[in-house]
Amino acid sequence: MSNEDETKGGIEKDKISITVDSISVEPGKSEVTHHFISTSEKVKDVDRIGPGTITAIRRGSAGNVSVARRTSNSVLVRDTDGTVRVERRNSSSADLRIALQRRVSNSSLPSIIPQVHVPETAPIMNAEDALERKGGKGAAGAFKEHMYPLDVLAEKYETHIDVEDPNKSQGLGSQKAAELLERYGPNVLTPPPSIPKWLLFLLQFTNLLMVLLEITAGATFIVWLVDRSTWPNLYIAVLLTVVIVLTCYEMFSQESKGDALTEKFRALVPEQASVVRDGVLKPLPAAEIVVGDLLRLKLGDKIPADCRVISNSGMKADQSMITGEADPVEILVHAADPNALEARNIVFNGSLVVDGGCLAVAIRTGDDTLIGAMVGLTADTGKTKGTLAADIDYFVKILAVFALVQAAVVFAVGIARGLAPVDVFINGFITIMIGNVPQGLPTTVTACLAIVAERMGRQNVFVKKLDVIETLGSCTLICTDKTGTLTMNLMSVANLWGMGMRLEGPEYQQKLAGESSSSTGNATGGDAGTNSQLFALMLVATLNSRVVLERKTEDSELVPNGDASELGLYRFFGACVKDRTGQEVEAFRAANPKLHEIPFNSAFKWQMSIHSVASQGGKQLLLIKGAPDVLLDKCSHYLGPDGTVHEKDAAFDAIYTAAYEDFGGQGERVLGFAMRPMVRSLEEELQADPRYKDELKEALIGKGARPAKDLVFVGLVTLQDPPRLEVPKAIADCHTAGVKVVMVTGDHPLTAAAIARKIGLITHPTRDLLARQRAIAPSEVPEEDVRAVVVKGSDIPAMTEADWKVLVSKQEIVFARTSPEQKLIIVKEFTKAGNVTAMTGDGVNDSPALKQAAIGVAMGLNGSDVAREAAEIVLLDDNFASIVVGIKEGRLLFANLKKSIAYSLAHLVPEVVPVLLWAFAGIPQAQGPLLALCIDLLTELVPATSLAYEEPEALIMQVPPRNVKTDKLTSFPLLFYAYGQAGMVLTGACLLVYFLTFQELGISATDIFSIDYKFFTGSGEDENYVTSDGRSYTADDQNSILAKIQGSWFLMIVCGQAAHVWVCRTSTVSLFSHGVFGNSTTNLGVVVALLLGCFVTYTPGLQGIVNSGNPNSLFILYGSLLAAGLFWGCTEARKLFSRTYPTHWLNRILGW
């Protein structure tokens, strides 16, 4: 923007300009042209994109960029390489295409939808772009209206404002407002591109695992249509279809229930508002508000747009959900700070009026508001798929290729050997597909996730999206708040200091209570005994307080309410008042009434009140407390131990500085207290000058003609928010587990560093401490020697990529004096460095960072609805230790899922081998597709799911997090175990039963391998099968034998898996030391599996459907004993080897 524009504090009308550093837009000409400084430069900042949108950008031959404004159906967006382009935004079809593209790009299928540009963020006018602004002011940097004079504001928004008396302003005309509404749309928040529920459900069927089953079911159904006599094919098709639909619905229900975030944002916006149009105050739907409208705000109103205040009636607004400021903000007409968030003459959409009222001009509506920017930032555009989903997709792709290749080979071999294509397709291709695809896997995984989520809920960790549990287990870094998460959020007074006095809390209380009434002094101009340093400190701390008594419910008792620091002071000095005066604290406060106050604000870091003090004969005192370094600049004198006033000198400054740094170094929050007798009463001052209150505030802020410099410094009070008792151990557990913990707090760097040392988050010296130890300058300390750093938020905007690369490599990191917007930068940089990052937050303005992090963790007790909706996990007790519980549960889930998958995959080998033997050797097929489905969907589910209840093996929190890029859920060692070891054992036991059963029926092994497809083909004269010794078997005999063979094979798999599940309970620890029968759910699961297996095998009516006959129980016993012996013997030997030689190269093959 031009210097002229900056000087005016506004933007010239009818002008669109694009430069490297800014973009500014105003309604007017339909098309104008400006230049980029360089075609390779990136657009880094956006001032306000005003009403209307840009619809075209064209580069001329000279490198010019043409920008055209036509309709409101497009937005200016920025690509990942920094280039600026136009995207249609409000078109439902475009939104749907964007949403579909995102959905398909995260699926395992190739894209079949035409590529559309998917912005990394919302439209370019949002808080994220403002974060790149030099100075890091965040989204507030896009505001300039708080600095405009009223006449400039009126001209800019083409509204009528009476500069002399704003309450007489006429506002917009109805016709002008209607034009603006028609041109720029309603004042509503546009949700991110989304997919209709019905379409989201249909998209579940594009999952590659489902596609494989759909192909099999469809082909089977077609075969039945061709030959209606093959009823088993219809049963298979129907059963597979039911499985597919139920599984897809299960996945749909998990995916669809998670995102009500936009609704939470919309809940902050009111439905109605009082608007001045044509000079008439009228109620209007909030959606019809346009920029330039005058809004009359009153107590209880939700603010419907971002507004600039032009007339104020003592209004206070709760903007905590937007700005993070805990206390209601006293609203002004004139800006208190260049930063819009601190200016206090800008009120934000979604804030609440808690006192007074005002007249304000709407300057941002809908998506252009601060909330609108947050809605855009909290879209899932930049978030990658969860680690569990990615691992399962990876496994399914491998499985799909493996199954298709096998099925194709079997089909080709069968055709080559002269078999009928239909027979080969049914007995070969379909059975291979069913045998290779674990149909029960989605159900098993979901059940395991639900079990762990329920267990985490009992430990105060509420999981909103099930698959994030495993991601939490893969977490490598946690960015955590301090107050209330690492600490108890229960402030208590620790130390008190004044010139010549330093006491701990109990000492002060005792000394104050026994103080002689002969004390002298003149700080307050009162009687002896009430002017001592001890009494003065109690007086300021007790009266200068915003704590109020409230009832939580109608029937409850009155309890004090305020922020943590105020309540800490209230509790401590309330007891002091009782001991010193014999009065209850509320009676003491009532006896010294508050006449005027200026609430605390983070811009000037103090709060002031004026009281009529009974102990001074009703004289009035100005009392102030706040940041010590800020107050000290306003003081010319200090109070001595005896209550006498002394002029500040170098000796005082040195003693004060040493005390302040000592307190801060101990992790204590330090507050300063000062006072000043009023020369004239407040009433007299107001009679002399009606603007006295405003002038007093300006003087205390340091503005105006006469900045306040005449206060008397009374002393310091330190408060400590003790760490939660369980936090040091939780931090130590994280370090042992290889998880880095980073503190992100708004506290002073000294306080943050001290708390970090107390809880073990920092154990190494920082650069400054190393410099002092070595008696050198901090810049001379070698970078490799610095292992712990404390970074101030003000340093973040100037940090380069090289700076971040160095910083993220440090072992111990604390960010202090950070703003909520800077959390987003921190998360992105740590994620860019390859970390799986968890981020905690509680405010609305934390929601972009919570969405950006791999795991967003919101606070359940003190968090906002928006933060809780943006996060995947909610801590019900706001306790950091609960995150560590979640990490442990996530790691346990990953380990147990591997066990479930290893167990489930093993049965696929004996399901596939009979088809291969039939295709290549021509022997009777030992298992049909229906019995294979019974294993996947019936007998295996309970044992596989029971492994989710398995207790952790040793060392689960003593190893680094898994590498999500290389350590997959289905690694080569696990697949080698499932297919090459356990699967072969099961197959061997099944083959034993297979040959024993044939032998019992009079068919030798030699006869079996000489059958060459001739065993019951159902063809006329060849119906009877004759063995080598002359035995003849009719078609019915052959059917009976085949049913018995298939029933025996099926039951052998069930019994073998019942023996197998025990050894899957541990991967390295011996089952005997872990507890053979320690998992009662597995014990029950084995019984259930055996009963179901017997039910399928022996039930007469069901036997005909699945083609099963009664097996020889003795043969099943032989096979089970063989399988159990091999399972237990081989796996215990492997586990012993892994424990004895943990670094041996064989473990890379055998250990899973």
Q: Active-site positions?
A: 481
64 near 99, Cβ under 8 Å?
Answer: no
CA quadruple 544, 548, 549, 554: dihedral, nearest 10: 180
Contacts 24+ apart (CB under 8 A), 617-622: 617/526, 617/527, 619/524, 619/525, 619/526, 619/677, 619/678, 620/595, 620/677, 620/678, 620/681, 620/682, 621/524, 621/539, 621/675, 621/676, 621/677, 621/678, 622/675, 622/676, 622/677, 622/678, 622/711
The confidence band for 1126, taking pLDDT boundaries of 50, 70 and 90, is very high
- Which of 23-32, 961-970, 1130-1139 is modeled with the greatest confidence? 1130-1139
Nearest to 546 by CA among 333, 316, 709: 316
Segment among 121-130, 379-388, 692-701 with least mean pLDDT: 121-130
Nearest-angstrom CA–CA distance, 129 and 141: 10
Contacts of 697 (CB under 8 A, 6+ apart): 598
pLDDT of residue 266: 58
The confidence band for 134, taking pLDDT boundaries of 50, 70 and 90, is very low
Segment among 18-32, 517-531, 631-645, 1059-1073 with least mean pLDDT: 18-32
Can you tell me the mean pLDDT for 244-262?
70
Question: pLDDT (tens digit, 9 = 90+) per residue, 263-285?
Answer: 555 566 677 889 999 999 999 99
The confidence band for 290, taking pLDDT boundaries of 50, 70 and 90, is very high
Query: Could you count the other beta carbons within 10 Å of the beta carbon of residue 1111?
Result: 24
In the predicted structure, residue 556 carries a pLDDT above the cut 70? yes
Amino acid at 165: D
Nearest-angstrom CA–CA distance, 434 and 1027: 32
Which is more confidently placed, 924 or 4? 924
Give the global pTM.
Answer: 0.70
Amino acid at 795: D
Mark out the alpha helices in 488-563 (DSSP H runs). Answer: 505-513, 533-543
Coil, strand or helix at 854: coil
SS3 content of the chain, % helix, strand, coil (to 5): 50, 15, 35
Which is more confidently placed, 538 or 396? 538
676 has which bridge partners? 622
Segment among 43-52, 169-178, 526-535, 787-796 with least mean pLDDT: 43-52
pLDDT of residue 1058: 94
Question: pLDDT (tens digit, 9 = 90+) per residue, 867-887?
Answer: 777 888 988 888 888 998 899
792 has which bridge partners? 816
Which is more confidently placed, 679 or 441? 679
pLDDT of residue 1034: 83
Q: Which helix (H) or strand (E) holds 1089?
A: helix 1080-1098
Record the tokens describing residue 821, joined without a space.
């917007």
Can you tell me the mean pLDDT for 177-195?
83
Question: pLDDT (tens digit, 9 = 90+) per residue, 455-514?
Answer: 898 888 988 888 888 899 999 999 998 877 888 878 899 999 999 899 999 999 999 988
Record the tokens describing residue 960, joined without a space.
């680094």
Question: pLDDT (tens digit, 9 = 90+) per residue, 17-52?
Answer: 333 333 333 333 333 333 333 333 333 333 333 333
Nearest-angstrom CA–CA distance, 751 and 758: 11
CA quadruple 259, 263, 264, 270: dihedral, nearest 10: 180
272-277 and 294-298 beta bridge pairing: antiparallel
CA quadruple 817, 821, 827, 828: dihedral, nearest 10: -130
Query: Could you count the other beta carbons within 10 Å of the beta carbon of residue 1019?
Result: 9
Region of residue 383 (phi > 0: left; psi between -120 and 50: alpha; otherwise: beta) = beta
Which is more confidently placed, 34 or 987? 987
722 near 668, Cβ under 8 Å?
Answer: no
Nearest-angstrom CA–CA distance, 445 and 703: 64
pLDDT of residue 586: 93
Nearest to 376 by CA among 120, 51, 98, 80: 120
Question: pLDDT (tens digit, 9 = 90+) per residue, 420-436?
Answer: 787 787 777 777 877 77
In the predicted structure, residue 735 carries a pLDDT above the cut 50? yes
Can you tell me the mean pLDDT for 802-817?
93
Question: pLDDT (tens digit, 9 = 90+) per residue, 530-550?
Answer: 568 999 999 999 999 988 888
Can you tell me the mean pLDDT for 444-453?
84
pLDDT of residue 192: 60
Q: Which residue has the tokens 């159990």?
A: 1124
Coil, strand or helix at 598: strand
pLDDT of residue 519: 42
CA quadruple 880, 881, 885, 891: dihedral, nearest 10: 70
Q: How far is CA 187 from the centre of its chain?
A: 28
pLDDT of residue 52: 35
pLDDT of residue 119: 33
The confidence band for 527, taking pLDDT boundaries of 50, 70 and 90, is very low
In the predicted structure, residue 826 carries a pLDDT above the cut 60? yes
Can you tell me the mean pLDDT for 990-1002?
93
Which is more confidently placed, 814 or 1039? 814
Nearest to 480 by CA among 818, 912, 126: 818
pLDDT of residue 292: 94
For the residues of 1009-1046, what is the DSSP string, one character each? HT-TT-S----GGG-SEE-TTS-EE-HHHHHHHHHHHH
pLDDT of residue 278: 92
740-744 and 812-816 beta bridge pairing: parallel
The confidence band for 706, taking pLDDT boundaries of 50, 70 and 90, is confident
DSSP state of 90: S
pLDDT of residue 977: 92
Coil, strand or helix at 427: helix
In the predicted structure, residue 60 carries a pLDDT above the cut 70? no
Nearest-angstrom CA–CA distance, 778 and 786: 10
pLDDT of residue 324: 57
Can you tell me the mean pLDDT for 127-133?
33
Q: 316-342 burial string, b = 16+ CB within 10 Å, else e? A: bbbbbbbbbbebbbbbbbebbbebbbb
Question: pLDDT (tens digit, 9 = 90+) per residue, 905-962?
Answer: 999 899 889 988 888 888 888 988 888 888 988 898 899 999 989 988 877 888 899 8
Give the Å distances, CA to CA, from 742 to 53, 259, 839, 873, 1076: 41, 28, 10, 18, 41
Nearest to 716 by CA among 651, 649, 661: 661
In the predicted structure, residue 718 carries a pLDDT above the cut 90? yes
Q: What are phi and psi of 573, to 5 degrees?
A: -75, -20
Can you tell me the mean pLDDT for 518-531?
44
pLDDT of residue 323: 64
DSSP state of 961: P
Can you tell me the mean pLDDT for 140-161?
86
606-613 and 74-78 beta bridge pairing: unpaired
The confidence band for 383, taking pLDDT boundaries of 50, 70 and 90, is low
Which is more confidently placed, 407 or 1129? 1129
Q: How many residues does the chain have?
A: 1152
DSSP state of 980: I
pLDDT of residue 16: 33
> What's the chain's average pLDDT?
80
The confidence band for 802, taking pLDDT boundaries of 50, 70 and 90, is very high
